[in-house]
Amino acid sequence: MIEMQDVWKTYPNGTHALQGVSVKIDRNEFVYVVGPSGAGKSTFMKLIYREEVPTKGQISVNGFNIGKLKQRKIPYVRRNIGVIFQDFRLLPKLTAYENVAFAMEVIEAPKRQMKKRVMEVLDLVGLKAKANRQPAQLSGGEQQRIAIARAIVNNPSVIIADEPTGNLDPETSWGIMQLLDEINFRGTTIVMATHNKDIVNTMRKRVIAIEHGNIVRDQLRGEYGYDF
Amino acid sequence: MTFNTFLRHLREGAKNIFRNGWMSVASVVSIIVSLFILGVFILLVLNVNAIADKADKQVQIRAYLNLNVDQKLRETVQKEIAAMPEVSKIDFISKEQGLEDFRKSMGDEGKELLEGFNKDNNPLPDAFKIEVYEPTTVPFVSKKIEALNTSHAEEQPIMKVKYGKGTIETLFKVTRMVRNIGFIFVAGLGVMSMFLISNTIRVTILARRREIGIMKLVGATNTFIRWPFFVEGTLIGLIGSIITVAILFTGYDRLAASIGSDFSLQMSLLPVSELWQWGGLLIVLGVLIGMWGTTLSIRKFLKV
């Protein structure tokens, strides 16, 4: 599903964000990526959805060689990857419904199918009743749910979540985690970078720890393992 | 692209104009300002050209014949002049006709002055009135006519060739200069307005970098992202240029009417009815500027 072989990433300013990372993530796994700030977690995530290209080494996602992908093929690979961020990244002038439908318009899904599917995922994230609200009229947790709905609406095989609970209070965070767990249960691979110790230690999943651009720990049903 | 997607692009493009509120207004205004200045210059150049053309057409050569020239020689000379490739028209003006014309041009004052002259003591020579295709060839043609005295060395038929030397040459210089400066100005303003507009649109796009980023993230192709912006730019260009043409032509029409009714000025502006194609051109230009501006500004945001 996702495979990295000796991946290096050096930024133009000389920072070695990743230094020879090799890892394999299988279909339907739920993986936490943990580690101190600046350890390379974000770079690790960005490489998967081709926001960045590796300086050296190979990455394959769903069978595509991400590093060597032609510019015009990138959109088609991204359609199979849902991405969720700490800051939600919703379009402020669109309603919740429109924000989710947007991801389907982009892949030119038929209109009738679109309406049905958008309502379906809004229902799944529990916001069917607030479909016509704009992001500003929703709470942080609700906005993140809309972002999740947008990420899953096209049935991607993998979801990349970069600190999805970073801006949310503990209670709301738990709601989001239950939702992601549910999505994972339905068959979607989830790779989630997080600083949330409680969540990692409670929901025992595979944990990959990155420090100084290297994977220092990779445990099934692991622990957070840091004090921050 | 499916038809539904195409409709979506049109809808989104139109909606974006409203969503962007003041930025759209700014773009439209910048198009209006540039196109308006451009339009004023175009109208100015057109009118100067029209006046210059009119003046050009009035440029004639008069060749006066010596008194000894008989009808046969006169006809030979007329044929020779008519045969010159630059000459468009040649009319013979007899001394009687010349006197008549002179009287007419002098009006009431001339009546007294020319009273004593009649058929028998007419002091004027016979003459040819010659028109040429290209006014700039006037001095050259005049020389050629004078040169007829060389080919008819014995008779020396030509007394004098006149064409208002100094005035005409100055007129040519002035009209040429006005045209050239006008066109340079118009071209320069055209380029300037394009940059102005592409910058305004760039600012709009800058404000929407986030939106473009999200579109890319959910897997939108570059074409898909570009289309609504393209529609938006085109519409902004269209709206701006239609407003410009409306303002410009209404104002021009008023001006033309007020000048036309003022008899002390011996000139009139070209009527609006003859200028519609230029209005059309401005609209096409506005649309192109809008399209070009967006295409140019969005390119660099699509590289991620």
User: In this model, does residue B266 exceed pLDDT 60?
Assistant: no
- Enumerate the H helices of A68-110 as residue ranges: 74-78, 96-106
CA-nearest of A202, A136, A150 to A174 is: A202
Most confident by average pLDDT, A152-166, B120-134, B247-261, B273-287: A152-166
Q: Which chain A residues contact residue B304 at CB under 8 A?
A: 51
Q: Say if the Cβ atoms of B214 and A110 lie within 8 Å.
A: no
User: In this model, does residue A194 exceed pLDDT 80?
Assistant: yes
Banded model confidence at residue A18, pLDDT cuts 50, 70, 90: very high
Sheet with B158-162: strands ordered across = B87-93, B127-132, B61-65, B158-162
Chain A: residue whose CA lies nearest to B304: A51
Q: What is the rounded average pLDDT of the residues B203-226?
A: 83
For residue A180, what are the CA distances in angstroms to A158, A161, A193, B169?
A: 11, 10, 13, 87
Strand partners, A9: A18
Q: What is the rounded average pLDDT of the residues A97-104?
A: 93
Q: Say if the Cβ atoms of A150 and B218 lie within 8 Å.
A: yes
Q: Which chain A residues contact residue B213 at CB under 8 A?
A: 89
Q: What is the rounded average pLDDT of the residues A146-157?
A: 95
Distance CA A43, CA A45 (A): 5
Q: What is the pTM of this model?
A: 0.68
DSSP code string of B99-151 = HHHHHHHHHHHHHHHTTT--TTT--PPPEEEEEESSGGGHHHHHHHHHTHHHH
Q: What is the rounded average pLDDT of the residues A188-194?
A: 96
Question: Does residue B103 sit at the A interface (CB-CB below 8 Å)?
Answer: no
How close are the terminal C-alpha atoms of chain B, in Å? 22
Sign of torsion, CA A45 A49 A55 A61?
A: positive
Size of interface A-B (CB pairs under 8 A): 50
Neighbour-count burial of B32, counting CB atoms closer than 10 A to its CB (0-12 exposed, 13-18 middle, 19+ buried)? buried
Identify each DSSP E strand in chain A by its residue range.
2-10, 16-25, 30-34, 56-61, 64-65, 81-85, 158-162, 189-193, 206-211, 214-219
How high is the mean pLDDT of chain A? Answer: 93
Distance CA B13, CA B246 (A): 24
**A68-89 pLDDT per residue, tens:** 888 888 999 999 999 999 999 9
Question: Does residue A27 sit at the B interface (CB-CB below 8 Å)?
Answer: no
CA-nearest of B223, B210, B241, B203 to B24 is: B203
Mutate to test the interface with A, among B214, B216, B226 (most CBs of A within 10 A): B214
Find the CB nearest B219 among A79, A93, A111. A79
CA distance B210 to chain A (A): 8
Banded model confidence at residue B264, pLDDT cuts 50, 70, 90: low
Name the percent of chain B lying above pLDDT 90.
6
Q: Which chain B residues contact residue A103 at CB under 8 A?
A: 218-219
Q: Say if the Cβ atoms of A79 and B218 lie within 8 Å.
A: yes
Q: Which chain B residues contact residue A90 at CB under 8 A?
A: 214
Contacts with B229 (C-beta within 8 Å, 6 or more apart), sequence order: B13, B16, B205, B294, B298
Q: Say if the Cβ atoms of A72 and B213 lie within 8 Å.
A: no
Is the CB of residue A210 less than 8 Å from the CB of residue A174?
Answer: no
Find the CB nearest A108 among B2, B215, B218. B2
Q: Tally Cβ neighbours within 10 Å of residue A57.
A: 17
How high is the mean pLDDT of chain B? Answer: 81
Query: Pairing relation of β-strands A30-34 and B61-65?
Result: unpaired
Measure the CA angle with vertex A159, ends A153 and A163; round to 5°. Answer: 115
Q: What does the CA dihedral B190, B193, B199, B202 come to, rounded to 10 degrees?
A: -70
Residue B201: both structure tokens together: 């649109």
Q: Say if the Cβ atoms of A91 and B224 lie within 8 Å.
A: no
DSSP structure class, residue A140: H
Is the CB of residue B69 less than 8 Å from the CB of residue B100?
Answer: no
Chain B: residue whose CA lies nearest to A76: B219
The ipTM assigned to this model is: 0.84
Chain A 82-111, residues with CB within 8 Å of chain B CB atoms:
83, 89-91, 93, 102-103, 105-108, 110-111
pLDDT of residue B117: 77
**B274-296 pLDDT per residue, tens:** 888 889 998 998 898 888 877 77
Q: Say if the Cβ atoms of B5 and A102 lie within 8 Å.
A: no
pLDDT of residue B297: 75
CA distance A228 to chain B (A): 30
Banded model confidence at residue B169, pLDDT cuts 50, 70, 90: low
User: In this model, does residue A66 exceed pLDDT 60?
Assistant: yes
Of the listed ranges A69-73, B15-19, B118-122, B151-155, the least confidently predicted one is: B118-122
Q: Say if the Cβ atoms of A111 and B219 lie within 8 Å.
A: no
Chain B 196-235, residues with CB within 8 Å of chain A CB atoms:
210-211, 213-222, 224
Chain A: residue whose CA lies nearest to B220: A106
pLDDT of residue A130: 96
Q: What is the rounded average pLDDT of the residues A197-219?
A: 94
* 3-class secondary structure, B238: helix
pLDDT of residue B303: 66
